[in-house]
């Protein structure tokens, strides 16, 4: 048994460690208490958080990959292990949820030597049916969770440093630094988002064709690099406001160096904006993945993602009988994740809204 | 005479999801026609709430108790349907508010907004409407009626807007006018004019007026009856007989009065040859006016124009002016928190503009600033100890932690705080305590000059006196110089050696306290002193 | 005065356009050399070096990137890929696509269907969303409001693709009320546009309504609303006249900002419903890896976006009296 660490796996580990560290420092602050108060006040927020945590655990389990001695070529994850045998077996073709027989007839030799069209019996039970090549739809949907999560979170990892650094810098130091940063983000945000992403993915195509994992990574980086501008603008505005607040002016008057002021007085007061934006962007990114895959600049077509499932299933809708389960499965799991994220970000917004308190 | 308005057993509660807070408790009073009743109290006393209750303009989460009664000429307003109540509002009862800028709809003209009342209540034909509005505007002594009719709110001055608001309120020919702090946002001179206007209009139209204010002297001037409120209750009612200003003495609630309780401390006079700490010469601070989101510089706001002053060791120079006079901008310019456009600021002989960032930071140990609102001057996330230490650490005062701790303890003593306060957060302290912390923080770095920007204005009156005593005592002990900014003439008399009067960014008069306050030369100074004499500032 | 302002804004936009140009140039050419681009288009098997060079020659990629030493004078700069491909964009000379079509002509043919789809979506959507938002605000605090907000969150959480697929399936396939996809020129296009228009409006219902509702709620807390009520005006008048007029300022300027982008069309809608607009043009180009077209669309999109910002500033002048008139203070 040899452990394999993909690039995106490494980032997932980094994120988890980062999250734990951050929570360790964060639990003492006022924001933490406000969030907890909201969770207590309205239990449905807690439910949303739990759902998010379940998805998170599934994603983490799917990020621990290994190779077994018996099969040198198959890289499996812990999730695969838990969901086996569905990860490596398949039926012939489509089958409906809960069905016992395939949806497509096949020409087989019957017992008495004749060829007849029969609906072959399925080897396994499929909760949500199977797709065109016989893979279990439920399995596909669960495996896609990781992709969605990675896109929602790794992108943020890339985006945050840019947005924070540039935003605080521009807002605090103003002058020519501000002008340059404003020029950069105005230029970047002038290009319609999807076009910029498409353009970037296209031009990087030759480099990323080989490895789906690298492609996912590059996609996250591109998404991050193209989406920091909105948050940067917000942080810049807030920093400008904070800078002229009396307590920052007092610190300046007391001779505190700019770097220390930024670290001590400005950054902690920006946290609530960052948290809310990250939560909102998360759901937007998960939804965007589907659209990007449809356009052709999303994840690799062979990777597990809801976007790919939808894309493939789109053509299935024209078939008779209607093959609806692949599409529905993908949309359903995506919906639950995005909906929970939206509900939870609502909790965050309420927590930081002074009127509520 | 039957009462115009009769409020009986008025009680209100705030109902939120988990708690029930009592806001008003058993309010009872009456207003007769042509009579003015003043509701007097500090913020949070419930006076505005009472007024809104009468008009039934409370927010959805506030509930009135079933025993409450608001009788307008005998009819209980609280039992009316909403539709019927809408016929009362604007017609029988009219309301004017404190902030005329935000109380008008910014996207409609004044004329349009006044016409709205006429159309809604009087069902007048559109044709002669303009003339009616002109007449209403003339009633409130607005000369350029046509210009004001066509103007948008932001195009008028504060006083003009308030007059327009009064005109709008009178458009329905109300029997009762409720005025919620109508003059608080205006400068002294305009304030006086508006009060006179209201009295004239009352005499002319025979209205009853419910006047809400936190200023005792204004109440005394306007009202036939003063009702004092605190924490949702009426604690005192004075009728016709006692019209003279009340002198506050404990245990009465804090009211804005004209005099200060002196702790018996006298300001120490300074020697004539004391060294000059601060020298400001021809200081200009201009801000470019950038229109909307164009960022086009169309002109300059001259916040501070050609100000020159000096402050010597151990003396207090007071800067007096109203809001908008530029005194706060001046303070920040001197402190090098705002960059002056022109002129020189010399501290201990060194021109601050010529110092590098690093040198300037080091120099900051010599001069510090105390802000008006101590709560906003402290980072709400920091404990008091960290707040006090910050300057010392930055300016390397005290060689190690022990020395700093010793110094902190000495400071706590000096300003009248206790060691237990060190572990608390700013919001856990009272207003007076917070300002003490800010003073201690400033003193921690050992400054020789303290710029104080209205340090007591945000505090309750009873606490103000204590803080002033603290300032005087510290000056005696440490020989600190103060650049003391205030709009309170009585404070100047108490604390300062010399005084400068500012108006619209310029210095209109300066001299010793005796010279300026007892023998003012400039008409503006004189007007200020008259208003002060009335107890209004 | 207004013309000098417009001129100044245009001048300010030029550095942005240059910046975008350099950005896209870097994106397309620094990451992949022209050789790589040629190989992508020639396929994966047995590419000879001469085939690559030929392809580059035909498509103009044979020149040096920035600086041509072989040529004389001005041609040192003009006979480069940078000039040929990028600078020309400034005069909207988009050149030929990688497959040989004239891009400018294609744009000219295809912008109309995009507009035909985008403009009704905008106008009808605006009316519908504002009406629903105002309704929710009128009944704020009641169960209607709570249910409405909840529904909005649900709608936002559902992928746009679901609306498209479900809408297509239900209305086109199952009930056969409308065609699944396609397009005809002229007025008959309506029956093909109806479905995508309805779905587009429905897809953005959740987020738009929620945003407008938040705007209105913010306005309703302001003091002038209290004054209006104190004057005895009905809640209806307060909302629909006083609040709406103020809230329209950010709404309108927001709409104006995206007006030019309507030309670009919706990438997803157009390709799903086979509408021959600029959106599907772009999607096809992306799928075919036609760099020339994608570059041109990126540039065009940016120009339109910046134009939209300019329009926004001007519309502020028109709509907000505080900005329009000079303060006499």
pLDDT band at B255; cut points 50, 70, 90: very low
pLDDT at C185: 75
Contact B97 C242 (CB under 8 A): no
Chain B, nearest residue to C4 by Cα: B296
C12 in A contact zone (CB under 8 Å): no
B378 in A contact zone (CB under 8 Å): yes
Pair B40, B92: CB distance under 8 Å: no
Chains touching A (3+ CB pairs < 8 Å):
B, C
Nearest Cβ partner for A331 among C27, C31, C159: C159
C311 in B contact zone (CB under 8 Å): no
B290-306: burial string, b at 16+ Cβ within 10 Å, e else: ebeeeeeeeeeebbbbe
B 151-210 residues inside an 8 A Cβ radius of C = 152, 154-157, 165, 168, 172
Range in A53-62, B316-325, C37-46, C158-167 with the lowest mean pLDDT = C37-46
**pLDDT one-digit tens code per residue, B227-242:** 988 888 888 887 754 4
Q: Which residues contact C142 (CB under 8 A, 6 or more apart)?
A: none
Average pLDDT, stretch C226-240? Answer: 90
Cβ contacts (< 8 Å) between B361 and chain A: which residues? 255, 257
C249-259: burial string, b at 16+ Cβ within 10 Å, e else: bbbbbebbbbb
Q: Report the SS3 class of residue A159.
A: helix
Pair C58, C34: CB distance under 8 Å: no
Nearest Cβ partner for A249 among B18, B337, B362: B337
Q: Which two tokens stand for residue A168?
A: 């605080």
**Mean pLDDT, chain C, integer:** 80
pLDDT at A253: 93
Q: How far is C14 from chain B (nearest CA, A)?
A: 17
B365 in A contact zone (CB under 8 Å): yes
Range in A14-18, A98-102, B69-73 with the lowest mean pLDDT = A98-102
C2 in B contact zone (CB under 8 Å): no
pLDDT at C225: 93
Contact A247 B377 (CB under 8 A): yes
Nearest Cα neighbor of B310 from B511, B472, B505 is B511
A132-163: burial string, b at 16+ Cβ within 10 Å, e else: eebbbbbbbbbbbbbbbbbbbbbbbbbbbebb
Domain limits of chain A? 140-356
Average pLDDT, stretch A12-39? Answer: 86
Contact C229 B57 (CB under 8 A): yes
**pLDDT one-digit tens code per residue, B66-97:** 888 899 988 899 889 988 999 999 899 999 99
**pLDDT one-digit tens code per residue, A52-77:** 999 999 999 888 888 877 766 777 88
pLDDT at C155: 93
pLDDT at B93: 93
Nearest Cβ partner for B99 among C223, C249, C325: C223
**pLDDT one-digit tens code per residue, A237-293:** 999 999 989 999 999 999 999 999 999 999 988 988 998 899 889 999 999 898 888
Cβ contacts (< 8 Å) between A253 and chain B: which residues? 335, 337, 364, 368-369
A314 in C contact zone (CB under 8 Å): yes
Q: How far is C272 from chain A (nearest CA, A)?
A: 10
Contact C231 B90 (CB under 8 A): yes
CB pairs under 8 A between B and C: 93
B489-510: burial string, b at 16+ Cβ within 10 Å, e else: bbbbbbbbbbbbbbbebebbbb
Contact A255 B362 (CB under 8 A): yes
C322 in B contact zone (CB under 8 Å): yes
Taking CA atoms, A269 is separated from A31, A178, A242, in Å, by: 10, 20, 8
Domains belonging to chain B, first-starting first, are 5-239 (3.40.50.300), 259-272+313-339+354-532 (3.40.50.300)
Strand partners, B451: B369, B483
Q: How far is C160 from chain A (nearest CA, A)?
A: 8
Pair B516, B350: CB distance under 8 Å: no
**Mean pLDDT, chain B, integer:** 84
Q: Which two tokens stand for residue A257?
A: 């160096």
Instruction: Tell the burial category of B32 from Cβ atoms under 10 Å away from its Cβ (0-12, 13-18, 19+).
Output: middle
Which of the listed ranges A91-100, A342-351, B251-260 does the model predict with the highest average pLDDT? A342-351
Strand partners, A117: A107
Instruction: Tell the burial category of A110 from Cβ atoms under 10 Å away from its Cβ (0-12, 13-18, 19+).
Output: exposed
Q: Report the SS3 class of residue B506.
A: strand
Q: Which two tokens stand for residue C1?
A: 């005065």
C 188-227 residues inside an 8 A Cβ radius of B = 222-224, 226-227
Torsion of CA B328, B331, B336, B342, to 10 degrees: 90
Is 80 exceeded by the pLDDT of residue C55?
no
Chain B, nearest residue to A247 by Cα: B377
Chain A, nearest residue to C157 by Cα: A339
Chains touching B (3+ CB pairs < 8 Å):
A, C
Nearest Cβ partner for C313 among B99, B165, B294: B294
Alpha carbon distance, N-terminus to C-terminus of chain C: 21
Average pLDDT, stretch C52-59? Answer: 74
Is 80 exceeded by the pLDDT of residue B13?
yes
**What ipTM was predicted for this assembly?**
0.83
Interface test with B, best of C222, C227, C311 (most B CBs within 10 A): C227
Query: Percent of chain A at pLDDT above 70?
Result: 96
At B509, give phi and psi (nearest 5°). Answer: -160, 150
Taking CA atoms, B150 is separated from B96, B121, B153, B156, C82, in Å, by: 21, 22, 10, 11, 57
B391 in A contact zone (CB under 8 Å): yes
Chain C, nearest residue to B99 by Cα: C223
Interface test with A, best of C17, C153, C157 (most A CBs within 10 A): C157
Is 50 exceeded by the pLDDT of residue C329?
no
Average pLDDT, stretch B344-367? Answer: 90
C161 in A contact zone (CB under 8 Å): yes
pLDDT at B247: 38
Average pLDDT, stretch B309-336? Answer: 88
pLDDT band at C18; cut points 50, 70, 90: confident
Bond prior to B73 in cis (omega within 30° of 0): no
A207 in C contact zone (CB under 8 Å): yes
Is 60 exceeded by the pLDDT of residue A87?
yes
Could you give the CA distance from residue C252 to residue A302 in angstroms, rounded to a whole number? 44
Nearest Cα neighbor of A200 from A228, A231, A223 is A223
Contact A204 C31 (CB under 8 A): yes
**pLDDT one-digit tens code per residue, C130-187:** 999 998 998 888 888 889 999 999 999 998 888 888 888 887 777 777 777 777 777 7
Cβ contacts (< 8 Å) between B438 and chain A: which residues? 250
DSSP H helices in chain C:
2-25, 34-42, 49-59, 75-78, 81, 88-90, 103-138, 143-157, 160-167, 189-220, 223-230, 235-237, 244-258, 267-272, 278-288, 291-319, 321-324
pLDDT at B99: 87
Helix, strand, coil % in chain B, rounded to nearest 5: 40, 25, 35
pLDDT at B245: 43
Q: Report the SS3 class of residue A68.
A: coil
Taking CA atoms, C294 is separated from B316, B366, B426, C87, C148, in Å, by: 71, 62, 57, 16, 40
> In this structure, are strands B208-213 and B36-40 parallel, antiparallel, or unpaired?
parallel
Could you give the CA distance from residue B451 to residue B467 in angstroms, rounded to a whole number? 15
The domain made up of A140-356 has a fold known as MetI-like fold (1.10.3720)
At B184, give phi and psi (nearest 5°). Answer: -60, -35
Instruction: Please give the DSSP secondary-structure letter assigned to residue C80.
Output: S
Nearest Cα neighbor of B94 from B19, B149, B172 is B172
Q: Report the SS3 class of residue A3.
A: strand
């Amino acid at each position: 048994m040899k452990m394999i660490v993909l690039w995106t796996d490494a980032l997932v580990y980094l994120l988890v460690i980062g999250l734990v560290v951050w929570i360790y420092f964060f639990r003492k602050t006022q924001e933490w208490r406000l969030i907890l108060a909201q969770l207590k006040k309205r239990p449905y927020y807690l439910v949303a958080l739990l759902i998010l945590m379940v998805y998170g655990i599934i994603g983490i389990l799917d990020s621990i990959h290994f190779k077994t001695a018996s099969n040198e070529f198959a890289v499996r994850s812990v999730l695969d292990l838990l969901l086996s045998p569905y990860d490596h077996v398949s039926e012939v073709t489509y089958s409906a949820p809960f069905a016992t027989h395939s949806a497509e007839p096949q020409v087989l030799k019957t017992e008495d030597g004749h060829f007849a069209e029969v609906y072959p019996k399925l080897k396994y039970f499929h909760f949500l049916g199977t797709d065109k090549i016989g893979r279990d739809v439920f399995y596909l949907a669960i495996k896609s969770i990781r992709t969605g999560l990675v896109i929602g979170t790794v992108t943020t990892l890339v985006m945050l440093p840019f947005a924070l650094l540039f935003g605080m810098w521009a807002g605090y130091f103003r002058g020519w630094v501000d002008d340059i940063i404003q020029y950069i983000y105005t230029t970047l945000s002038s290009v319609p988002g999807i076009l910029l992403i498409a353009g970037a993915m296209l031009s990087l195509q030759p480099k990323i064709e080989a490895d789906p994992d690298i492609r996912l990574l590059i996609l996250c980086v591109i998404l991050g690099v193209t989406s920091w501008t909105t948050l940067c603008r917000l942080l810049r505005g807030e920093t400008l406001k904070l800078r002229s607040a009396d307590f920052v002016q007092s610190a300046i008057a007391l001779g505190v160096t700019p770097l220390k002021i930024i670290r001590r007085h400005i950054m902690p007061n920006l946290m609530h904006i960052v948290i809310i934006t990250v939560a909102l962007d998360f759901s937007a990114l998960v939804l965007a993945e589907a659209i990007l895959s449809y356009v052709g600049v999303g994840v690799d077509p062979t990777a597990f993602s809801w976007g790919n499932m939808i894309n493939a299933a789109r053509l299935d809708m024209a078939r008779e009988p209607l093959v609806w389960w692949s599409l529905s499965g993908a949309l359903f799991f995506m919906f639950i994740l995005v909906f929970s994220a939206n509900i939870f970000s609502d909790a965050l917004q309420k927590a930081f809204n002074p009127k509520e308190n | 005479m039957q009462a115009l308005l009769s409020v009986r057993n008025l009680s209100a509660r705030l109902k939120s999801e988990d708690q029930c807070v009592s806001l008003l408790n058993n309010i009872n009073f009456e207003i007769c026609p042509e009579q003015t009743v003043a509701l007097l109290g500090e913020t949070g006393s419930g006076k505005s709430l009472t007024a809104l209750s009468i008009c039934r303009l409370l927010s959805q989460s506030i509930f009135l108790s079933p025993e409450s009664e608001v009788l307008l000429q005998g009819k209980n307003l609280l039992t009316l349907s909403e539709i019927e109540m809408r016929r009362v509002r604007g017609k029988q009862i009219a309301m004017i508010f404190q902030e005329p800028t935000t109380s008008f709809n910014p996207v409609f003209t004044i004329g349009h907004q006044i016409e709205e009342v006429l159309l809604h209540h009087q069902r007048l034909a559109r044709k002669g409407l303009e003339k009616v509005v002109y007449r209403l505007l003339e009633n409130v002594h607005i000369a350029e009626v046509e210009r004001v009719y066509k103007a948008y709110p932001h195009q008028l001055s504060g006083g003009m807007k308030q007059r327009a608001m009064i005109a709008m309120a009178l458009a329905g020919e109300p029997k009762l006018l409720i005025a919620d702090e109508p003059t608080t946002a205006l400068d002294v001179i305009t304030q006086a004019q508006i009060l006179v206007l209201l009295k004239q209009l009352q005499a002319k139209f025979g209205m009853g007026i419910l006047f809400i204010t936190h200023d005792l002297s204004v109440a005394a001037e306007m009202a036939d009856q003063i009702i004092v409120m605190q924490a949702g209750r009426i604690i005192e009612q004075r009728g016709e007989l006692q019209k003279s200003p009340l002198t506050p003495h404990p245990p009465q609630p804090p009211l804005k009065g004209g005099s200060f309780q002196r702790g018996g401390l006298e300001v120490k006079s300074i020697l004539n040859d004391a060294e000059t700490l601060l020298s400001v010469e021809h200081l200009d601070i201009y801000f470019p006016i950038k229109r909307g989101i164009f960022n086009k510089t169309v002109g300059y706001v001259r916040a501070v124009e050609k100000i020159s002053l000096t402050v010597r060791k151990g003396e207090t120079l007071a800067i007096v002016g109203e809001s908008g006079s530029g005194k706060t901008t001046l303070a920040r310019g001197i402190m090098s928190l705002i960059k002056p456009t022109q002129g020189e600021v010399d501290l201990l002989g060194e021109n601050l503009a010529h110092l590098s960032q690093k040198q300037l930071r080091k120099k900051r140990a010599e001069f510090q600033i105390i802000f008006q609102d101590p709560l906003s001057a402290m980072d709400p996330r920091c404990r008091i100890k960290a707040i006090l230490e910050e300057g010392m650490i930055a300016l390397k005062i005290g060689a190690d932690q022990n020395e700093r701790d010793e110094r902190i303890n000495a400071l706590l003593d000096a300003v009248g705080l206790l060691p237990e306060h060190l572990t608390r957060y700013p919001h856990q302290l009272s207003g007076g305590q917070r300002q003490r912390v800010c003073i201690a923080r400033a003193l921690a770095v050992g400054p020789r000059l303290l710029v104080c920007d209205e340090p007591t204005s945000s505090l309750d009156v009873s606490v103000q006196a204590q803080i002033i005593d603290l300032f005087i005592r510290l000056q005696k002990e440490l020989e600190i110089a103060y650049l003391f900014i205030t709009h309170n003439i009585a404070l100047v008399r108490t604390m300062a050696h010399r005084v400068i009067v500012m108006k619209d960014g310029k210095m209109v008069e300066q001299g010793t306290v005796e010279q300026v306050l007892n023998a003012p030369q400039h008409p503006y100074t004189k007007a200020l002193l008259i208003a002060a004499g009335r107890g209004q500032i | 005065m207004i013309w000098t302002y417009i001129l100044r804004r245009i001048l300010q936009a030029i550095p942005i356009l240059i910046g975008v140009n350099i950005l896209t140039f870097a994106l397309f050419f620094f990451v992949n050399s022209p050789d790589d681009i040629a190989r992508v288009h020639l396929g994966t098997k047995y590419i000879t070096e001469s085939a690559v060079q030929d392809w580059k020659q035909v498509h103009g990629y044979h020149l040096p990137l920035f600086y041509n030493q072989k040529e004389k004078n001005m041609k040192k700069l003009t006979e480069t890929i940078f000039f040929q491909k990028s600078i020309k964009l400034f005069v909207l000379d988009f050149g030929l696509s990688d497959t040989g079509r004239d891009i400018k002509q294609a744009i000219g043919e295809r912008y109309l269907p995009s507009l035909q789809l985008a403009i009704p979506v905008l106008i009808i959507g605006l009316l519908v969303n504002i009406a629903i938002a105002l309704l929710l605000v009128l009944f704020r605090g009641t169960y209607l409001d709570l249910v409405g907000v909840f529904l909005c969150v649900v709608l936002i959480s559902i992928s746009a693709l679901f609306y498209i697929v479900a809408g297509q399936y239900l209305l086109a396939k199952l009930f056969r009320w409308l065609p699944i996809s396609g397009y005809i020129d002229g007025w008959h296009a309506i029956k093909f546009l109806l479905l995508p228009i309805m779905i587009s409006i429905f897809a953005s219902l959740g987020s738009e309504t929620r945003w407008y509702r938040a705007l209105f709620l913010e306005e309703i807390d302001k003091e002038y609303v209290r004054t209006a009520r104190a004057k005895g005006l009905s809640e209806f008048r307060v909302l629909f006249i006083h609040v709406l007029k103020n809230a329209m300022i950010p709404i309108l300027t927001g709409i104006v900002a995206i007006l030019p982008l309507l030309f670009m069309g919706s990438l997803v809608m157009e390709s799903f419903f086979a509408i021959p607009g600029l959106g599907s043009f772009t999607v096809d180009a992306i799928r075919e890896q036609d760099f020339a077209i994608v570059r041109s669309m990126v540039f065009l999109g940016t120009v339109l976006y910046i134009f939209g910002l300019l329009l926004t500033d001007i519309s502020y002048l028109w709509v907000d009296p505080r900005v329009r008139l000079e303060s006499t203070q």
